[in-house]
Amino acid sequence: MKSYLAAAIQMTSKPDLDKNLIEAEELIELAVRQGAELIGLPENFAFLGKEEDKLAQAPTIALKTEKFLKTMAQRFQITLLGGGFPVAVEGNPAKAYNTALLFDPNGIEVARYQKIHLFDVDVPDGNTYRESSTVMAGQNSPAIYFSDRLGNLGLSICYDVRFPELYRYLSSKGADVLFIPAAFTAYTGKDHWQVLLQARAIENTCYIIAPAQTGNHYARRYTHGHAMIVDPWGLILADAGDKPGVAVAEINPERLHQVRQQMPSLQHRVLV
């Protein structure tokens, strides 16, 4: 593993697949121009609209999005994460998997993760979310892509960040970098987003790459923004703020080794 630049992309996705993919391409190109070799797109980057609309369009979204990710990875010679989009459940038209896909620079899918923790929450701002009404919880094991070039990449999606046991599992299997692409609500994000990312980085002595959604998407759906890259000591290396853009920072294996020597907590685990 060598030092390299990674990017967490921040978008304001809408209920318009084609426009979202155009914006995603522009932001990927921006990150590449800044030298990023590993790039993550946020949850719902291809479509952020009402759940019933997303489900109805799931086959089209999945087909176009997978082709898009493959093409972008090949064109820009990057490793690219599509941080969450609907993939229809075979034999069950009422549900889709919230799926993250990782493609290598050859356009080959190297990891697939289906979100296992579904966001069924009554937020104090008056919004109610029932992800399980249209989404099937993931049936696969947590996903890790083992790479000599980039380090070992662990995948997760948004609400997963509140479940530390998932990240402990990923770190115990060798993860060096943890992806947490999200569409975090504006209300919860202002209090919880940053501290949860820092906690997952610190307790697992891993880098965090957290692409994010920001702003108003439709009706009363607002997200927090602040796509971030966090180092294994919990230091925020890059923060995209509250507008669409990119957060770019270095992933440094020497820093990872240093932190794990200084704070060898992964070696001191008692309960596993």
109 is catalytic: no
Enter the pTM of the model.
Answer: 0.97
Q: How far is CA 179 from CA 6, 65, 139, 143, 145, in A?
A: 11, 19, 19, 10, 11
Q: How far is CA 181 from CA 83, 192, 272, in A?
A: 5, 15, 26
Hey, what are 134's tokens?
């249209």
Half-sphere exposure of 30 (CA within 13 A, CB side): 18
- How does pLDDT run across 7-35, given as a tens digit for each residue? 999 999 999 999 999 999 999 999 999 99
- How does pLDDT run across 93-120, given as a tens digit for each residue? 899 999 999 999 999 999 999 999 999 9
pLDDT-derived band at 154 (thresholds 50, 70, 90) equals: very high
Hey, what are 175's tokens?
């993860």
Active-site residue identified among 43, 54, 70, 206? 43
Active-site residue identified among 23, 37, 54, 115? 115
190 is catalytic: no
Domains of the chain are: 4-268 (3.60.110.10)
pLDDT score of 172 more than 90: yes
Residue-level pLDDT at 140: 76
Mean pLDDT along residues 156-169: 97
pLDDT-derived band at 159 (thresholds 50, 70, 90) equals: very high
Mean pLDDT along residues 46-61: 94
Most distant CA atoms of the chain, gap in Å: 51
pLDDT score of 58 more than 80: yes
What's the CA gap between 98 and 116, in Å, rounded? 9
DSSP H helices in the chain = 17-33, 51-56, 58-76, 164-172, 186-204, 253-262
Residue located via tokens 């479509």: 47
Active-site residue identified among 54, 66, 158, 206? 158
- How does pLDDT run across 30-50, given as a tens digit for each residue? 999 999 999 999 999 999 999
43 is catalytic: yes
